[in-house]
Structure 1
Amino acid sequence: MEIRFRNNTASTASVAVMFYSPDGCAHDGQWGTRGWWVIGPGGTAHVLNTGNRYFCFYAETTDGTVWAGEFGPIYIYAGAFDSCLLIGSTAAIGKVGTRRVDTRGNDTIVNLNR
């Protein structure tokens, strides 16, 4: 399934995801983490292909709007990252909770709306 994000806000959005990855993260929490996709106002980005029904995301805009949740938390970094749930680093700028999305097995577009 393809996972895409659409930024329906007037500000630039940055998106990070957490996705089931038992092969790549077998000993580090079974979930992969990736970021950042920077999406301008009205823009769309393809962020992930997955065979799992669920994934999670964290997003924030340059004007301070945040989409977070109770899943994770994941380590985030100032630059691009590709890691696993249980791998942290002193380079991390923080940890954030993520929102879970149920794709129901379909391609999914997450609309970032205020």
Structure 2
Amino acid sequence: MLRFQNGYSQTINVMIERYDASCQPTPWHRTGWWVIQPGGSAVAYGGDLAALNRYWYWYAFAVDNTQWSGPYPENVPYSEFDWCPDTAADPSINIGMRELDVNGASNWTLNLVL
């Protein structure tokens, strides 16, 4: 299970990208946005993380424009989405995702703080 915990003082929006062999030609599936109030949490994936893939990708931003970003670029819509990466959306934003290496763990909680 992949859980996001909001340890920040503002509402946070989160998206993930996970391995999905049925997505072709690029086997990655994107889902977002989970809206998490301060002190709250959301389960972004309910299954065994390591059984699916070692590497997961994620991005989050707060309503005050604070971002938890990384070097892995992606283009995602402003609205809710759940699809393979070759799906287009308009309007959309360019983001930089962070990589999460679960290294054999079945469950992981990311506590988003500054």
TM-score normalised by L of structure 2: 0.88
- Provide the C-alpha distance between the structure 2 equivalents of 1:68 and 1:78, rounded to a whole number of angstroms: 16
- Provide the C-alpha distance between the structure 2 equivalents of 1:88 and 1:78, rounded to a whole number of angstroms: 12
Matched with 1:81 is 81
| Unpaired segments ≥5 residues, structure 2 | none
Matched with 1:54 is 55
Matched with 1:32 is 29
- Provide the C-alpha distance between the structure 2 equivalents of 1:96 and 1:102, rounded to a whole number of angstroms: 19
Matched with 2:70 is 69
Matched with 1:111 is 111
Preserved CA contact (<8 Å) 2:17 2:30: yes
Preserved CA contact (<8 Å) 1:15 1:58: yes
Give the aligned CA root-mean-square deviation in angstroms: 1.3
Counterpart amino acid of 1:26?
Q
Preserved CA contact (<8 Å) 1:33 1:74: no
- Provide the C-alpha distance between the structure 2 equivalents of 1:112 and 1:30, rounded to a whole number of angstroms: 27
- Provide the C-alpha distance between the structure 2 equivalents of 1:92 and 1:105, rounded to a whole number of angstroms: 37
Matched with 1:45 is 42
Q: CA deviation at 1:54?
A: 1.1
Counterpart amino acid of 2:9?
A
After TM superposition, what 4+ stretches of structure 1 lie above 4 angstroms from structure 2?
A: none
Counterpart amino acid of 2:93?
G
Matched-pair identity in % = 33
- Provide the C-alpha distance between the structure 1 equivalents of 2:75 and 2:91, rounded to a whole number of angstroms: 6
| Unpaired segments ≥5 residues, structure 1 | none
Counterpart amino acid of 2:110?
V
- What SS class does the counterpart of residue 100 from structure 2 fall into? strand
- Provide the C-alpha distance between the structure 1 equivalents of 2:55 and 2:79, rounded to a whole number of angstroms: 25
- Provide the C-alpha distance between the structure 2 equivalents of 1:85 and 1:17, rounded to a whole number of angstroms: 12
Matched with 1:93 is 92
